[in-house]
Structure 1
Amino acid sequence: MVKFMNENDYHEVGFVGQIFTWCNNKRGGDQILERLDRCILKTLAINKIQITLVRHLSRVASDHCPIVLKIFESVCKGRSGFKFENTWLSFKTVEHIVSSRWKRTFLGDDMEILNKKCKRNLKDLFYWSKGRLENFSLEKERLKAEIINLQEEESRYGWLTKEKLCLLKAKVKELNVVLNNLNTWWKQRAKAKWVKDGDANTKFFHSFANSRRNVNRISHVKDSNGMLTKYLKEIEEVFSRFFQGKWKSRNCSFS
């Protein structure tokens, strides 16, 4: 099955509910439970839908659980945290930003100073990255068009001037750098550690990253009474009550 999915570009959709979808309806040690029913989608569907979820319902009239595919029409975007981008390591500017920000003076104890420096560095790197790396795809297309124009001119006249030949080599080198940064960017999001270095950026990385986002998305949680809830407001209240109870002040005695 795994071979079939890899060869035909299928990805499994994440699910909620009971794990097993089939039972042989026997008792005791003769009972067998298996997860036989699954929902798989092709890359094209995942890239268009992006947020999907499968729910395993109860077994009633059959020895199989009915499965329901839920397609979310809108995505609720919350505040995203700052993440270190592996592609930053290929820019000298990053070294200068980190060095200059780290030398600044902050008030507080050692832990507070360390947290403030890390937060400030990530924030500065985020805004630099947003302006520098956001247009990688556009830059890739621009460089490819310029290289094609120079190569067409070379094939038309049979030669290029020394200046244009140097320009062509520079454009090719710049394009390779951009492609490498794009590849690094998508590898980090896909977290496909088994992918060998040198593989080009393809639709596979996009679909892999989208599939992983589906699996990691929290769509259902159980409250303190064990009831399953799927509404965003109720999920927020469940998390809020949990951490308020976890971090409330307590009187401790060491005697």
Structure 2
Amino acid sequence: MNTLETPQTRNELQANRPQHKRTVECLLRIMSLLIWSWSPKIFSWNCQGAASKSFIRTAKWFISKYHPNIFCLVETKTSGCNADSLCAKLGFDKWARVEALGFSGGIWILWSNSVQIEVLHSHPQFVHMAITDQLGRFWNLSVVYGSPTLHLRRRLWSSLKRTKLHVNHPWLIAGDFNAIANDYECSSPSNPGNHKNADFRNWIFSEALLDLGFSGPNFTWRRGKEEGTFKGARLDRALCSLDWIDRMHDTKVTHLTAIGSDHSPILVEFDTKVKQGGNDFMFQGAWTRHRDFLDFTRQNWDKEGSVWQNKDTMAVKFKDWNRTVFGNIHYRKNNLLRRLDGIHKKMDQACHAGLVRLERKIKKELEDTLQQEEILWFQQAREDWIASGDRNTSFYHAATKCKKAKIGRHNFLDMVGIPW
């Protein structure tokens, strides 16, 4: 005896799908993007000229590898229509520029729609901005290109001040300062040349700024390949205000491999999570297909608290709910298939209304479980599209394996830092 779907049942299901789909999409957007998976990245690079043939190729490689939300270039040495044409080729939604003076200087700021940026002040040696991120937080960013000329660089320290710029939010300052703060930040501590000056250290002290440190090579600028001619210094860095440490969690600065320039780019990431064994948390899109998900979220979300206050609490509760209620998708699918096979064998012997109702219930649970499995593999594969109703999970298995293979492959670099 076959189970029939009546027109009334079909209409009820179709009427509920749009509302459920909108609810799921909203929750996925809020939780997956805003709370756990959005990790802002700021990329700052002294490219030493954007007019060369290799610049676009190198810049696009950096963008595809690190996916920055804000891409900052200094010493671009390019202005006018040519500069706008190059910015358009980099694939960002918006940009702002400080024109180069002849064939020197120039600051470009490019960003995606994941952040809102308002340029508050521009200067030949820095751009000061107000940022609103996806979590609704307000902060200030200043991108710096300190002049190589000492007396011009002194104008930077006198202009880049909290009182003059009216800084009233957490403040991040990043870029090429063309100066060092300590003797050990250059290859010749006894002869730091034009890079060391007391003005830089005094400015850091007077503005109550903190050095965010770094991981990677010690020097961000290198010149000369022979032992007698080699020079190196930490000219590029990221500094922050005291309230930045309190508001922006887990800020990390990395000195990247220098390609196409004497300067190493610096990557600033915050809201990063340090993985500790299996304790890291990731929101699972498949949870949204469970019948109790919405009620569980409403009951445990503190409406009086902020997103950040709810984040850690909800992570713990979701982990417990996943273990005690949601369970293992693959185990549940196999169990439902075995039960459905048993029901069909019973129906072949003697069918009755109770078996029909049980079969309908198991089929509905199996349909939900298959959708959850599809979402699980889709999320692990990190693909940008999915065909609704397609049960060919082998595609997602393959995509996930390819992703892992790419991650492994990019761990091997040749002598100039290009992945094999």
- TM-score w.r.t. the length of structure 1 is 0.47
Q: Which has the higher helix share?
A: 1
Q: Which has the higher strand share?
A: 2
The structure number with the bigger radius of gyration is 2
Q: State the structure with bigger RCO (CA 8 A, min sep 6), 1 or 2.
A: 1
